[in-house]
Amino acid sequence: MENLETPSTKEGLWKKEYASLETIVDACGTKIEEGIKDTLVALRLLGFNTTSSCAGHIDDLEENEAPSYPYVQIQALNRPKLRYENESEIRQELALKYNLELKDINLAIAGGWGNDPRSDQLEEIRDYFREIIRSKALSETADYKKWKEAGRLLDDKLIKYIQEFYTERAVRQKAKLELRQKCLSSDEKWKSDEENNIEKSLILQDIKDTQKEMQDFTEFLKKKYFEQK
């Protein structure tokens, strides 16, 4: 009799992937939120690499913070460390210019430095790096182009799932999921910066509706995974 507790079965692989999420933390030491874990597991087992996520938060809005919609960011695996030709030399030059270690320059260029007390300087370095790239009109490396193409194929694959999910499915437009800039969320997420003049009750409903939509899409993906041969 097949043992459902082992990773050799689909149920076992699901449990193993779910458990692996417990070990993942972001730069601030924050764990993945419970409300988005099933979505991540389904996407990962269907071949999507996820890089960041949020389950959505209603309490943020109640505390006068920015609206927080559920989302999942996807990206192809094995992103090359360098995007442009001669980029390594430029990073070295920046380290000398700002009298910083190369790891600090890499952090500045990557972004996501959180509450680092040097955030102003890191942002300046990032902007200066981008200006150098623009002024020199540097070409992307062959490896980066290959990685970008792999990402495009992943986008196409997820978009097909989304289109199938919405076949004969009626939903409020504001809660409808879409993939934009490799981010799976509702259209309202992209408008959140302009929502200061909208009634909180309406935004709360949009967040709740998007959360429900993400849950239903997760069940759709989960079914797809377990139906795979």
| Tokens 């935004």 -> residue | 203
Q: What is the pLDDT of residue 74?
A: 96
pLDDT of residue 87: 96
Full-prediction pTM beyond 0.75? yes
Q: What is the mean pLDDT of the chain?
A: 88
Query: What's the pLDDT at 1?
Result: 41
pLDDT in tens, 86-130: 999 999 999 999 999 999 999 999 887 777 888 899 999 999 999
Express as a percent the part of the chain with pLDDT over 70. Answer: 86
pLDDT tens sequence across 184-219? 998 766 565 455 456 777 788 888 999 999 999 999
Whole-number pLDDT of residue 213:
96
74/62: higher pLDDT: 74
What pLDDT does 65 receive? 65
